[in-house]
Structure 1
Amino acid sequence: MKKQLNLICVLIFFFVGLSLVPTIYSMGNAFVDGFKVGMSQVEEAHKQGATNITTEIMSPLALNLWPKSLAATSDKVFNQKDQEWYPASHIKTLVWAKTKDTGFTQFGSFLVLIGLFFIVKAITQFYKLINAINHEVIFDWVNVRRLNCIGRNLLISFVLTQAYMLMNYWAAARLFELEGYEHNFWCDFQSMTLIMGLIALLVGRIFAIGLKMKEEQELTI
């Protein structure tokens, strides 16, 4: 039983870590590229003798789009394999907007970073929970608190991530209107963290009910 439990836990750790790779990679890549582009724009503005440098700096902004009609499209992509153009619709596009227009969204990435911190905290508590179970400490109030902590951390991470996505959606809808498209917030709705957090809270509640029933039975004997 312990081998099966440990195998399942290893798989959970592996796939949770794997799911974090795209976010960490995109954040790191965006930070490095944004820093390089920002520095090059500042240098170019200095060479041109610009008096207000900040208005020239551009920041990346993600557009989550959905075509108003799937029957027709106004866009095309060029296929280099057969050298032909094909009708296409862009669902997710990254544009560069003026930093002064994007406003507080440029600081929204810190929310995602804080959200990752809470996920790491949840993973730490999960490791402690599995370690306790391996030592045959299962139905215990400490594990209930750990499950509740895991659930809260995952829910906090979900709220912070979705807050950033909502900020990005508002900025994109305010600054851009593309022909044949409408902005779609639900493309960035990350429900997995929410579901995992609720499941952890549910299991913690089940453990708590079981412990209370066990204590009441011990008192009646």
Structure 2
Amino acid sequence: MFNCCIRSNVIGKMNKKIRTYCFILAIIYVFVVMYTIFTQIASFKAGFREGVRGVPREILHVNLMPKNGTYSFPDKASDISGRQDVLIEMNNAKLMVLNPVELPKSIVIGYYVVLCSAFILLGCTIWLPFLFFRVIRAASKGNLIDLKVIKRIRKIGIILILFYIADILANTIDTLKAEYLVHFENYNFFIDFSGFGTLILGIVTLLLAEILHMTLKMKEEQDLTI
């Protein structure tokens, strides 16, 4: 009886900690989503206005590497106070190419592949919060080791990895477009693979799902043995 009370108290404390962590995680998630929407809305409005005007253009998000290497600071800007000059090195930029020349078919096909994947990822973006909060809800109730919950965690991991792949594909297409349309005196374009945060988070989420699945299997085998 005494052992049961101790076990109940320990489980109660663990569930309380889980609920607290889940609440903090939910707040962070909502903040990240709202911040992303707030920062992207200006870009969406600008793109919509340009689309209404009907002016042929290509808007590209590109990464830049100075031809003379990093920390070469190839550009110069004037300080409005007039006290000194400032050297600048750009690492990324948004480009608007007006009246661009016709792109090769391979790049155009790649662009439409990215565009189609964007619609799929839009659905995943809408679906992801529902998966996330259902997992949070299950964790707060102490029902994390459940096959349905594990499947949801696995889906979250797959979606996060897809986000990383889609970002690399979009960056690749924009870089290929920029290399074909524009040539800068002091900069080369390059594809940035360094945004590993989403990829690592997705792999860790899949690993968590597999650990929980193994725990569930062991629990089922133990129940059968008893």
TM-score by length of 2: 0.75
User: Can you give the 5+ residue segments of structure 2 that lack an aligned partner in the other structure?
Assistant: 1-13
User: How has the CA–CA distance of structure 1 residues 111 and 118 changed in structure 2, closer, same or farther, with 3 Å as cutoff?
Assistant: same
Unaligned regions of 5+ residues in structure 1, if any? 43-55
Give the equivalent residue in structure 2 for 1:151. Answer: 157
- Looking at structure 2, the residues matched to 155 and 143 of structure 1 have their Cα atoms a distance apart, in angstroms, of 19
Alpha-carbon distance in 2 for matches of 1:94, 1:130: 37
Partner of 2:6: none
CA distance in 1 between partners of 2:93 and 2:149 (Å) = 44
Mapped to 2, the partners of 1:109 and 1:22 lie a distance apart of: 24
Match of 2:131 in 1: 125
Q: Distance in 1 between matches of 2:184 and 2:17?
A: 52
Q: How many residues align?
A: 206
Change (3 A) 1:154 1:2: same
Is residue 2:197 matched to residue 1:192?
A: yes
* Contact in 2 for aligned 1:108/1:164 (Cα 8 Å): yes
Task: Tell me which moved more, 154-163 or 197-206.
Answer: 154-163
Kindly state the Cα deviation for residue 77 of structure 1 after the two structures are TM-superposed: 1.9
TM-superposed CA distance for 1:107, in Å, is: 8.6
Structure 2 residue aligned with 1:72: 72
Output the TM-score relative to the length of structure 1.
Answer: 0.77
> Does the aligned pair in 2 maintain the 1:118–1:157 contact within 8 Å?
no
Task: Render the CA deviation track for 1:35-66: whole Å, top value 9, x for unaligned.
Answer: 323434x4xxxxxxxxxxxxx52232122101
Q: 1:198 to 1:177 in 2, by over 3 A?
A: same
Hey, what's the Cα distance between the residues in 1 that align with 2:190 and 2:74?
Answer: 18
AA aligned opposite 1:118: C
- Contact (CA 8 Å) 1:34, 1:59: kept in 2 or not? no
**CA distance in structure 2 between the partners assigned to 1:119 and 1:8 by the alignment:** 23
Is the counterpart of residue 212 in structure 1 residue 217 in structure 2? yes
Identity %, equivalent residues: 23
Q: Displacement of 1:79 after TM fit?
A: 2.3
Residue 16 (structure 1) shift = 3.3
Report if the CA contact (8 A) 2:71-2:89 is conserved: no
- Using CA pairs below 8 Å that are at least 6 residues apart, which structure has the higher relative contact order? 2
Q: CA RMSD in A?
A: 2.9
Structure 1: distance between partners of 2:29 and 2:35 = 11
Instruction: Using the TM superposition, give the Cα deviation of residue 6 of structure 1 relative to its aligned residue in structure 2, in angstroms.
Output: 3.0
**1:136 paired to 2:139:** no
Instruction: Give the equivalent residue in structure 1 for 2:22.
Output: 9
CA distance in structure 1 between the partners assigned to 2:95 and 2:189 by the alignment: 14
